[in-house]
Amino acid sequence: MTDPKVVLDSEDMRRTLTRLAHEIVENGGDADRLALVGIHRRGAVLAARLRELLADLHDIDVPLGDLDISFYRDDVTTRTGAPVVHATHLDFDVDARTIVIVDDVLFTGRTVRAAIEALFDYGRPARVQLAVLADRGHRELPLRPDYVGKNLPTARGERVYVRVTELDGEDSVTITEPAAAAA
């Protein structure tokens, strides 16, 4: 079995999130109408880090929320086992805001579609943007992120793993080859 290839280590992730925070301020529009919403689980962690960076680097205090998309997925009835459900927290009015949805990896686009659907159950944002740590391609839906940490050209069978200290004890992004992913 081949060892996973590290494409971002903890320092790379820190620099990448810092760059994303700067880009969000530059292109997100009115900072008073900006909010971050992370997709459970790792997207929520990354959104919290981005919020902290926005406060530290730009003295901007943006609302932070997180979405559970378990029941919005288009494969909820075909997956084996019960979905792991987390609470959604949107303790602010989403109407007329620029909402930046944050996720760890963008692959087919189906997770983002589910997140947009879930978000619109809470109101009507003025604009929805997407920030991802890693974009690996292979889109099945016509979605494109506004903010990308790193583009990762991958084979369809490869797996991209994002680890965050808060959940996994370390920060890293790795790619596992198809033979290793199946093992």
What are the tens digits of pLDDT across the range 136-183?
999 999 999 999 999 999 999 999 999 999 999 999 999 998 765 555
Whole-prediction pTM value? 0.91
Backbone angles phi, psi at 39, to 5 degrees: -90, 130
Task: List Cα–Cα distances, 82 to 8, 36, 48, in angstroms.
Answer: 32, 28, 27
Domains and CATH numbers, the chain: 5-75+85-182 (3.40.50.2020)
Looking at every residue in the chain, the average pLDDT score rounds to 92
Looking at residue 178, its pLDDT comes to: 77
Backbone region of residue 91 per phi and psi (left: phi > 0; alpha: psi in -120 to 50; beta: other values): alpha
Looking at residue 28, its pLDDT comes to: 81
Looking at residue 79, its pLDDT comes to: 56
Lowest mean pLDDT among 13-17, 24-28, 50-54, 70-74: 70-74
Q: Token pair of 105, please?
A: 């990896």
